[in-house]
Amino acid sequence: MSDNVRVRFAPSPTGKLHIGGARTAIYNWAFARANGGDFILRIDDTDPTRSTDENTQIILRAMRWLGLDWDEGPEVGGDFGPYSQTERLDMYKAAAQKMWDEGTAYPCFCTPEQLAADREAAQARKDPFQGYQRRCRGLSREEAQARIDAGEPYVLRIKVPADRGNVVINDAVHGEVTFDAKELDDFVIFRSDGTPTYNFATVVDDAAMRITHVIRGDDHLSNTPRQVMVYEALGAPVPTFAHISMILGADGKKLSKRHGATSVEEYRDAGYLSDAFVNYLALLGWSLDGETTVIPRDVLASKFSLDRISKNPATFDPKKLDWMNAEYINAMSDADFADQIMLPELLEADMIDEGFEADEAWVDALAAIVRPRTKMPADAAAVAAPVFATAETLAYDEKSVAKGLAKEGLGAVLDAARTALEALSEDAWTPESIDAALEPLPEALDVKKRLVFGAVRVAECGNMVSPPLGETMALIGRDDCLARIDRARPMAG
């Protein structure tokens, strides 16, 4: 086996890349990066009825969005290609022929009816071994070849050594796992239609690609003893296995569509940031130190280790993912937030057009008040909406008007606020000056501060929930702010 760590992610292109597969890919990528190894992407497309080129492209797009760059594989190449199984059939045939020539595999001509009858007979006599009864195992090479030449259908089976004891796997996650040798039958490695079985093809590929560690879901744990048999029959070193637990929904059942979105692209389209999504999925079964939750990609790529993977199933919590997304957004600089999230969302919401131009300081000031209130990118447009409205187009929330503006005495508050604000010149229209102009009003009017500022907030923003008032009004501009008070005045009590 190579001294250099080599891992692979081998999805089947029978559908979209889902959360469980994405986490497996992340773990393989991170393990390779942390150990200075190679991360191989292989497309296991041997299911001709369900594998499609379109699904392959969907998987590649999802991998690129996740930021999981691969060292070998589709669109990259490498020394151990091709990297899709449909292009490797000759390799499987050669490996199977080698096993037959060396006596570690043999043709089987048993019909489905014969197999069913043998199984029923084993059950009737309560045989502890109820797998394939090895009816064709003793056929001579000459007899088998003659039946093949005569056109008789056959499969190729592995010849499990008669004295093979229990298969013991030293799994990097689960520790020592023992499989009873009695459960090992001479399973099929090549079907009668000339295609390899999964447990054979994947081992031929992993051996040829010099894979050192197989990190995958624990639903594959039951395949492992059969795959070990193939490694041994091929004379290939057995890699280190690490079987990671499944991901559950909040109800404790395996994550599925009934729990909501399950494919990577659905989360991308919903506005989640790639770094936040990768961070969250990495924590579903792995931890850095048991405490740290926000783990930047470069830390994940340098600190990931198999010994920190939990044996227990992980629970996918959409609220925690939302929290993680908000943490990543809030950690962005104002300029990055504006360029990557806010301005694209404003464009999508038709609040600005392609030719939008604004003073950089103005855009950064807007980003500074919108960013802390943005959990998902779409929130940015909703938070910024009052700034891009005008006195004529501003929409008023009825409940906010009733609660924060229509109460008796608040008309006088707006009058006083307008007078105080009108005294400010255009040049003095800053957040600090606006706040200073409004600050004395509660005491002067003998009205509670929250009522004064609430009334002005509803007049200027249309609702009672908005970013800091002074900063927002400075962005709106002096004349429009005064016009908004004039428009709201008839609604005030």
Give catalytic residues, as residue numbers: 257
196 beta partners: 190
Alpha-carbon distances of 281 from 43, 70, 102, 163, 241, rounded to whole Å = 22, 18, 45, 43, 20
Asked if residue 77 lies in contact with residue 216, where contact means CB atoms within 8 angstroms, the answer is: no
Extract the tokens encoding 154.
């056959």
Q: At what angle do helices 469-476 and 377-388 cross, to 10 degrees?
A: 60
DSSP one-letter code for 355: T
Q: Is 368 exposed, middle or buried (0-12, 13-18, 19+ CB in 10 A)?
A: middle
106 beta partners: 157
Asked if residue 66 lies in contact with residue 22, where contact means CB atoms within 8 angstroms, the answer is: yes
What amino acid occupies position 474?
A
Extract the tokens encoding 365.
């000031």
Could you give phi then psi for residue 79, rounded to 5 degrees? -85, -5
> Rounded to an integer, what distance in angstroms lies between the CA atom of residue 91 and that of residue 204?
8
> Rounded to an integer, what distance in angstroms lies between the CA atom of residue 214 and that of residue 19?
19
Extract the tokens encoding 60.
């590649």
> Rounded to an integer, what distance in angstroms lies between the CA atom of residue 311 and that of residue 218?
10
Dihedral (CA of 44, 46, 48, 53) sign? positive
